[in-house]
Structure 1
Amino acid sequence: MDLRKILTGIAALAFAGGTLTAVTTSAPASAAPGDVIVSETFSGGTLPSGWNAVDGTWSVQNGRLVGTAANGANNKITFGRKLNDFRFEADVRFDSVVSTSRWAALGLDVPASGATPWWIATMRSGSTASNGLEFAQRTTANTWNVTDTAAAPYAAGTGRNVKVSIEVHGTQARWSFDGTEVMRTSSLVRSANGGQALFVNGATVSFDNIKITELPRNAHLRSSGAPVTVIAHRGASAAAPENTLAAQDLALRAGADLIENDVQPSSDGVPFVLHDSTVDRTTDGTGAIRNRTSAYLKTLDAGSWFSPQYAGERMPTLAEQLADLRARGGRLLLEIKGSHTKAQVAKIIEVIRAQQMTPHVFVQSFDTASLRYVRELAPELPLGLLRSTLDADPAAVAADLGLTAYNPSASALLARPSAITALHNADIAVMAWTSDSPTQWTSLEAAGVDGIITNKPADLVAWNQN
């Protein structure tokens, strides 16, 4: 089995031997995406310049940084600088532990003083526990806010060197354990000046090959060797009625990275999740959605057409879909379907913000006017342009619209795969739609696409694991 496909995601581990580099907390004037900000192998025998042992015992022994902390002590050493997008790599070895629940951590956003609040990626020596790996915040009240947990493929134990990589893009982060992505979060809260750190609690832990690389801002680009992002087209629409919470549920349980939907307004301005211009095909109602009130739309059966087992399934509003995703930790690739006025786009944005889902929503559309409205009203939201055929110069179109992703049909893309390289060179991700064939998935992955929109997310997740 190819370990790079065990779990879906777009993070990958890329370790390289480093040379001793003096590091300060000030930013190099030439720092840019791809630059190595910290590269430390501890071959100098002493703590590097600019590393601040805030508390606990920290020393360099036999070419490794060694930290020791009593049970319950969050001992830390800070270094690095404020970065929005970066990869933090380290070799981590537990030399001794008070118990298997004790941990070491990579600090992702930590003030140089070590003062709270700060964010860490934690690994217990008993890393196969359900909370063996965590993303967590230490609050100003000195309490824990654990946002995400996972079990590692095997126990870190003691005496074993584990290669850890955390890829951070703003509020999002992805964790790789010895080259396998095991967890991700969209819950980081970033500070104005927090840098990086290493932590020890109830253990003696040694670290080596610390490397911090500044990354491009586009978190949706697939790292070399990583699996494609799995995007569930209208949810798991091959197995449940499309654009319903039932289809969303199946897709999330299958392991889809994003749910793709279609949003249109009712006659009274409520954004609903529906693909067609009318409700006729996928409900027991009739008429154009934009001519029907929200009260009418909520009475419709949106499941019986697909299967009797889904009788009574309702057409969700965008607010209902986002609330479900928020509760379950899901992400949405939201398609603004058809032309929208600026006021209608503003309503969609209002719903996203009211549901506190801005960090977890990616907006796409065929309608360039709608994308320009989103860019004006909510520049923090990433944008994708849907295309049935490729533009003559996709990268130029992407630059004009301020895109994060260019999302063409799979067949059009495979007819001209060289466009992918041009888009990647412009820091633009590529998500192909709509592909349900393993043969085509193989071609798309080989061509370098970052994500695949599919009606069969469970199958694509399984394919990623082979």
Structure 2
Amino acid sequence: MVLTRSGPAPARVTTPGRVVVGLLTLAASVGTLSAVDTGTPAAAAPGSVVVSANFDTGGLPAGWRAVDGDWTVKNGRLYGAAGSGSKKITFGRHLNDFRLEATVRFESVAEATRWTALGLDVPAAGTPPWWIATLRSGSTAANGLEFAQLTTANTWNVTNTAAAPSAAGTGRDISIAAEVHGINARWFFAGREVLRTSGLQRSAGGVQALIVNGATVSFDNVRVTELAPNPYIRPVGAPLTVIAHRGACAVAPENTLVAQDVARRNGAEWIENDVQPSKDGVPFVMHDSTVDRTTNGTGAIRNLTAAQLKQLDAGSWFGPQFAGVRLPTLAEQLVDLRTRGGKLLLEIKGAHSKAQVARIIDIIRAEQMTDRVFIQSFETSALTYSYQLAPEIPLGLLRSTLDADPVAIARQYHLTAYNPAVAALTARPAVIANLHTAGVALMVWTVDSAGQWQQLKGLGVDGIITNRSPELVDWNAANPG
């Protein structure tokens, strides 16, 4: 990824004061590298428990408001009854990042299409608009689970639907939960994530709620826990996330396993690489549309077969010590990350059909790397296909210039991160706060100077894509807080 798609190769840069590990050894034999810890870092500790209600006291907890319908507490459970329409009880407080969970049981339903819901952003008085995560009694229907909004016009805007893995029915306790980060939310049924959305429209003061429609439903163990923000959003005082542009491309040939390993061994948390298909459809790690600049071959990568690409020398152009380094396939890159450690910010480079994106997704899943890959692209169609095929993989949109409303774009394309060029972002830094409020991170490209690292850290940027990843790691260590 470069400031312009057809720009020159990044300059080769030395890293004074830092030892770049074993380049000659790595170039000679990538396969003999020793293993490193591949464990996933522990998740951020949850924040305060805002609501915890098991209804054992026999009455409604303080601060709960039965807006409409019949809400009673008996036998250690809260019962909500709605003969018709949607009946609500509100509680909690406005939160940007939280988990709402409950044990629910349909006691009776008018029909299998009737439902209960977790209210994710509901005015305390219950007036629309409000957002919910819906569970139908007939939960295995195609729309058994939903994210939906009741609009100010009193009409439904259903943004996402899915079938639950098992039937809720009646008389059965089901554990349900929703996790919300700004405009993003995840739906959990019996402990399993089943649906995501990036389409919430948050209010300034909406709280949590329970809602019933055409049913009598009982609830137990209602809990609201404040969460840390989107894990890709950098907490105040935390170091910038280091993203190694095409690996450690200043000291090793870009988009190779050697560059990847140098970056990893020198402390980069993420490797940023590009993927494109060969003539016979094999995804290869390659930035340019042709192999001319970074190999001893010529021609468009999409006109060369995998066998032909594998014959090319992808290291000698950078330095004689890298002679014989080969172009890696995406599968080979993921195997290296899975076995030796590291995470991948993967740019889908250039136009891809849905079938080509599907092959990329299949490889990520086959290598069991869905939790360590973040897909980004300039191509919105590639992001759309990725979301349709693998909504569990986070997405970032690359932009050379800022959109008029980045938050709206983030919602449209289900983004976890918005990834602009540094010049574009520094011209309009106010968008950072807007995106963070919406639960969207910012990963900025391509930034190689300590002065800009300092500026971007002060502005609140989350991650830096850089050609100088070893130096940024050292800069982070020298500039805590």
| TM, length-normalised to structure 2 | 0.56
Return the offset for 1:230. 0.5
Equivalent of residue 379 in structure 1, options 386, 391, 401? 391
Aligned to 1:261: 273
Structure-2 separation of matches of 1:268 and 1:237: 28
State which structure, 1 or 2, has the greater radius of gyration over its C-alpha atoms: 2
Aligned to 2:464: 452
The answer (yes or no) to whether the contact 1:301–1:315 under 8 Å persists in 2 is yes
The answer (yes or no) to whether the contact 2:44–2:228 under 8 Å persists in 1 is no
The superposition leaves residues 280-308 of structure 1 with CA deviations (integer Å, 9 ceiling, x where unpaired) of: 00000000000000000001000000011
Aligned to 1:356: 368
Structure-1 separation of matches of 2:403 and 2:351: 20
The answer (yes or no) to whether the contact 2:419–2:444 under 8 Å persists in 1 is yes
5+ unaligned residues in a row in structure 2: which ranges? Answer: 1-40, 56-76, 79-89, 101-177, 180-187, 193-223
Structure-2 separation of matches of 1:13 and 1:409: 32
Structure-2 separation of matches of 1:33 and 1:288: 50
Question: Does structure 1 residue 439 correspond to structure 2 residue 446?
Answer: no
Question: Does structure 1 residue 391 correspond to structure 2 residue 391?
Answer: no
Aligned to 1:338: 350
Distance verdict in 2 for CA 1:299–1:222, change over 3 Å: same
The answer (yes or no) to whether the contact 2:45–2:228 under 8 Å persists in 1 is no
Given residue 314 of structure 1, which amino acid in structure 2 is its aligned partner? R
Given residue 291 of structure 1, which amino acid in structure 2 is its aligned partner? N
Question: Does structure 1 residue 226 correspond to structure 2 residue 238?
Answer: yes
Q: CA RMSD in A?
A: 3.1
Structure-1 separation of matches of 2:305 and 2:94: 51
Q: Superposition pairs for residues 99-110 of structure 1, below 5 Å? A: none
Partner secondary structure for residue 464 of structure 2: strand
Distance verdict in 2 for CA 1:37–1:240, change over 3 Å: closer
5+ unaligned residues in a row in structure 1: which ranges? Answer: 1-8, 39-168, 171-189, 195-211
Aligned to 2:432: 420
Question: Does structure 1 residue 214 correspond to structure 2 residue 214?
Answer: no
Structure-2 separation of matches of 1:257 and 1:373: 26
| TM, length-normalised to structure 1 | 0.58
Distance verdict in 2 for CA 1:37–1:378, change over 3 Å: closer
Question: Does structure 1 residue 300 correspond to structure 2 residue 296?
Answer: no
Question: Aligned residue pairs: how many?
Answer: 291
Distance verdict in 2 for CA 1:280–1:35, change over 3 Å: closer
Return the offset for 1:349. 0.4
Question: Does structure 1 residue 276 correspond to structure 2 residue 327?
Answer: no
Question: Does structure 1 residue 250 correspond to structure 2 residue 284?
Answer: no
Q: Superposition pairs for residues 12-411 of structure 1, below 5 Å? A: 30=92, 33=95, 192-193=190-191, 213-215=225-227, 218-411=230-423
Distance verdict in 2 for CA 1:225–1:300, change over 3 Å: same
Given residue 339 of structure 1, which amino acid in structure 2 is its aligned partner? A
Distance verdict in 2 for CA 1:314–1:36, change over 3 Å: closer
Given residue 293 of structure 2, which amino acid in structure 1 is its aligned partner? R
Partner secondary structure for residue 350 of structure 1: helix
The superposition leaves residues 425-455 of structure 1 with CA deviations (integer Å, 9 ceiling, x where unpaired) of: 1111000000010000001111110100001
The answer (yes or no) to whether the contact 1:10–1:220 under 8 Å persists in 2 is no
Given residue 462 of structure 1, which amino acid in structure 2 is its aligned partner? D
Distance verdict in 2 for CA 1:437–1:35, change over 3 Å: closer
The superposition leaves residues 297-350 of structure 1 with CA deviations (integer Å, 9 ceiling, x where unpaired) of: 001000000011111100000000000000022110000000101110001001
